[in-house]
């Protein structure tokens, strides 16, 4: 099995997919944006061929690079695991006749209004939404649905670039900042869903769920990405077999069927609302911010290798132990500027060190990253514990005791 990996070096966990493919016996080539000499030695050892392009988001360049690799030998699969790379990779596969997730499925997962239209037509509950490209269309949607609404890039990921609009003042500001007030810009708009938020992830083989995981956000993403004093968390449960998750797992399988997902990882954002379970966004890729690393640590397995086995047509070897729940807490600097230090590290590791599975504290002198940059933009701690509720309490304690100082 010869697999092309799209962009093997950035973000840093991309190398784990290359490692996993190599570990199950695949021949691995890659197309990436860095010069070959800039790749680390181990990554070079795993790769058979490498093609550099200025950007992996340019279809012409990707097709050219893929065909150069095809001249060196038969290619069985081409895989991309980053949201921004998915569409170009799918189109390059189609041009070069390489098996993998179809362009049609990729577009349904990338285009938010189309995604929700397809799901609603199949009877899967999700927010009212639509595509907009100018201020008049935005205003018309607001007039029909009312405040609050969410405005986001049509092919965005998560809460990146999203606006929560609750008033006329919010609307005017969003229209100006997005450029919708002065021109045609593709955006998605949807009613704001109020409720508890989480995500449901799978590895799916020929449309059948082989591995599945459920994670909860505390608080919801949009609020977390706008509020400095919050130390947001996401926590993967080890209680997935509890009756309360049955509907989520059933509808998640239905989403996979409706979108035509065959052999791929999936990532589905969901809400529990007063109206019941609703889906927000679906991605035909792994989740970001190290969620798979949490799943590996919580379940004592190499999920990357299980993905590689699925891609290479091999049967699963390891299954989740569900021994631990695992979670991540993000720690924000108290202001924008330059990191001075982190208070409370020593006490954390003395009291809870046996439960810590990963942590990052920026060195003094490091520039701070903005609150909206994400869960791992500044300091963060990953932990696991056999009891979900105990883990939640420990993560809360970390949020209270650790302080990242800046000036």
111, pLDDT greater than 70 = yes
Is 342 part of a structural domain of the chain? yes
Identify whether 389 is part of a domain.
Answer: yes
Shared-domain flag, residues 307 and 244:
yes
Residues 381 and 303 in one domain: yes
Q: Per-residue pLDDT for 372 more than 90? A: no
Provide the edge-to-edge strand list for the sheet that holds 47-52. Answer: 47-52, 27-32, 2-6, 77-79
Residues 283 and 148 placed together within one structural domain of the fold: no
For residues 230 and 354, membership in a common domain is answered with: yes
Residues 171 and 254 reside in one and the same domain? no
Q: Same domain for 187 and 60?
A: no
| pTM (2 d.p.) | 0.90
| pLDDT in the model for residue 196 | 95
Among candidate residues 90, 406, 52, the one with its CA nearest the CA of residue 260: 90
Q: CA-CA distance, 21 to 2, in Å (whole number)? A: 9
Residues 92 and 165 in one domain: no
CA 161 to chain centre: 15
C-beta separation of 145 from 132 below 8 A: no
Query: Does 366 lie in the same domain as 220?
Result: yes
Look at residue 140 in the predicted model and tell me its pLDDT: 93
The string of pLDDT tens digits covering residues 183-218 is: 888 898 988 888 999 999 999 999 999 999 999 999
Q: How far apart are alpha carbons 222 and 207 in whole angstroms?
A: 31
Place of tokens 């019941």: 276
Does residue 19 register a pLDDT over 60? yes
pLDDT digits (tens, 9 = 90+) for 220-278: 988 888 788 999 999 999 999 999 999 999 999 999 999 999 999 999 999 999 889 99
Q: Single out the residue in 140, 174, 191 at which a domain terminates.
A: 191
pLDDT at 280: 86
pLDDT, averaged across the chain: 94
Question: Which two three-digit tokens encode residue 315?
Answer: 């049967």
Task: Report how many domains make up the chain.
Answer: 3
Q: Write out the two tokens for 208.
A: 């059948």
SS3 164: strand
Chain segment 116-172, per-residue pLDDT in tens = 899 989 999 988 888 899 999 999 999 988 999 989 887 666 566 788 899 999 999
The answer to whether 312 and 26 have CB atoms below 8 angstroms apart is yes
- Say which residues have a Cβ less than 8 Å from residue 123's Cβ, sequence separation at least 6: none
CATH number for the domain including 145? 3.30.1490.20
In a domain, 203, yes or no: yes
Print the domain residue range for 402: 196-406
């Amino acid at each position: 099995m010869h697999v092309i990996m799209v962009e093997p070096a950035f973000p840093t966990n991309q190398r784990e997919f290359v490692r996993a493919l190599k570990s199950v016996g695949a021949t691995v080539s890659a197309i990436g944006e860095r010069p070959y000499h800039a790749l680390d030695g181990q990554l070079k050892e795993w790769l058979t061929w490498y093609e550099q392009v200025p950007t992996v988001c340019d279809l012409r360049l990707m097709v050219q690079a893929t065909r150069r690799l095809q001249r060196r030998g038969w290619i069985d699969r081409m895989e991309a695991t980053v949201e921004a790379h998915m569409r170009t990779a799918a189109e390059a596969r189609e041009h070069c006749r390489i098996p993998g997730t179809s362009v049609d499925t990729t577009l349904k997962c990338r285009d938010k209004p189309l995604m929700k239209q397809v799901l609603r037509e199949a009877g899967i509950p999700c927010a009212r939404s639509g595509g907009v490209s100018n201020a008049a269309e935005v205003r018309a949607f607001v007039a029909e649905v009312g405040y609050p609404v969410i405005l986001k890039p049509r092919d965005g990921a998560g809460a990146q670039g999203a606006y929560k609009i609750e008033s006329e003042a919010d609307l005017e500001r969003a229209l100006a900042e997005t450029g919708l007030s002065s021109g045609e810009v593709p955006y998605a708009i949807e009613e704001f869903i109020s409720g508890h938020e989480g995500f449901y992830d799978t590895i799916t083989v020929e449309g059948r769920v082989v591995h599945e995981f459920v994670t909860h956000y505390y608080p919801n993403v949009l609020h977390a990405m706008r509020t400095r004093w919050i130390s947001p968390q996401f926590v993967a449960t080890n209680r997935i077999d509890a009756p309360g998750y049955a509907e989520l797992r059933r509808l998640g399988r239905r989403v996979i069927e409706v979108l035509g997902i065959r052999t791929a990882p999936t990532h589905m954002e969901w809400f529990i609302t007063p109206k019941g379970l609703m889906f927000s966004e679906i991605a035909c890729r792994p989740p970001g911010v190290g969620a798979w690393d949490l799943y590996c640590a919580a379940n004592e397995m190499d999920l990357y290798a299980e993905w590689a086995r699925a891609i290479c047509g091999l049967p699963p070897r390891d299954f989740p132990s569900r021994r631990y729940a695992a979670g991540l807490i993000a720690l924000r600097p108290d202001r924008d500027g330059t990191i001075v230090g982190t208070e409370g590290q020593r006490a954390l590791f003395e009291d809870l060190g046996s439960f810590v599975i990963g942590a990052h504290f920026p060195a003094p002198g490091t520039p701070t990253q903005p609150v909206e940059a994400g869960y791992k933009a500044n300091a963060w701690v990953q932990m696991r514990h056999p009891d979900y509720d105990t883990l939640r309490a420990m993560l809360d304690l970390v949020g209270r005791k650790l302080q990242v100082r800046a000036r």
